[in-house]
């Protein structure tokens, strides 16, 4: 027993109470190690790669930089919570058609980011370079980004009229986080 209080939150639509959550527990660790939701990945641990992206009350959040105790009574959605939903199926199809997955480590973070951007821009999406920049917080070691951005463009119905300049991305395509 540590004497730490329990934490109650909603995760993927279900109320969960987790006993003894320390004040310095990260949301990422709560999800992966206390709730067994391993779809949320740990990459850089410093807010620079997006692998740990989840939705909190519908907004995308980096779970490595978020304290679990801030989630009291909040609604958290992980990639597991999207399984089988029309949103997830649309993203899955767009990724498959664009060839946007290689090793897959970054994919859960990108899926959450794409779902968030699609909800935000569904009615009036910006142009492709703007969308690419909005994905700048998510890094991928494998794909070179173009396929992922193309998947997002397909999801939003944004025409891909030309190659994106390399400067569109915050790191060079294929570069390491």
Residues in the site for ligand FES, rule: CB under 6 A? 42-45, 47-52, 62, 64, 101-106, 140-143
Minimum gap (Å) between residue 106 Cβ and ligand FES = 3
Minimum gap (Å) between residue 161 Cβ and ligand FES = 25
Of 64 and 111, nearer to ligand FES (C-beta) is: 64
In total, the chain counts a number of residues equal to 177
Between the alpha carbon of residue 103 and those of residues 54, 106, 141, 169, the distances in Å are 20, 8, 9, 20
Of 3 and 92, nearer to ligand FES (C-beta) is: 92
Plot region of 59 (φ>0 → left; ψ -120 to 50 → alpha; else → beta):
beta
Of 7 and 31, nearer to ligand FES (C-beta) is: 31
Minimum gap (Å) between residue 65 Cβ and ligand FES = 6
């Amino acid at each position: 027993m540590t004497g730490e209080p329990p934490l109650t939150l909603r995760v993927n639509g279900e109320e969960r109470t987790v006993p003894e959550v320390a004040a310095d527990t990260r949301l990422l660790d709560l999800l992966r190690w206390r709730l067994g939701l391993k779809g949320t990945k740990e990459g850089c641990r410093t807010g620079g790669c997006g692998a740990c992206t989840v939705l909190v009350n519908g907004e995308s959040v980096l779970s490595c930089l978020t304290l679990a105790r801030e989630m009291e009574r909040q609604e958290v959605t992980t990639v597991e919570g999207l399984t089988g939903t029309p949103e997830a199926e649309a993203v899955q199809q767009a990724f498959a058609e664009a060839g946007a997955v290689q090793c897959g480590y970054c994919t859960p973070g990108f899926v959450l980011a794409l779902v968030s951007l699609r909800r935000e821009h569904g009615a009036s999406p910006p142009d492709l370079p703007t969308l690419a920049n909005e994905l700048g917080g998510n890094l991928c070691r494998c794909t070179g980004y173009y396929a992922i951005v193309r998947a997002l463009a397909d999801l939003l119905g944004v025409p891909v009229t030309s190659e994106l300049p390399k400067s569109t991305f915050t790191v060079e395509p294929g570069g390491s986080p």
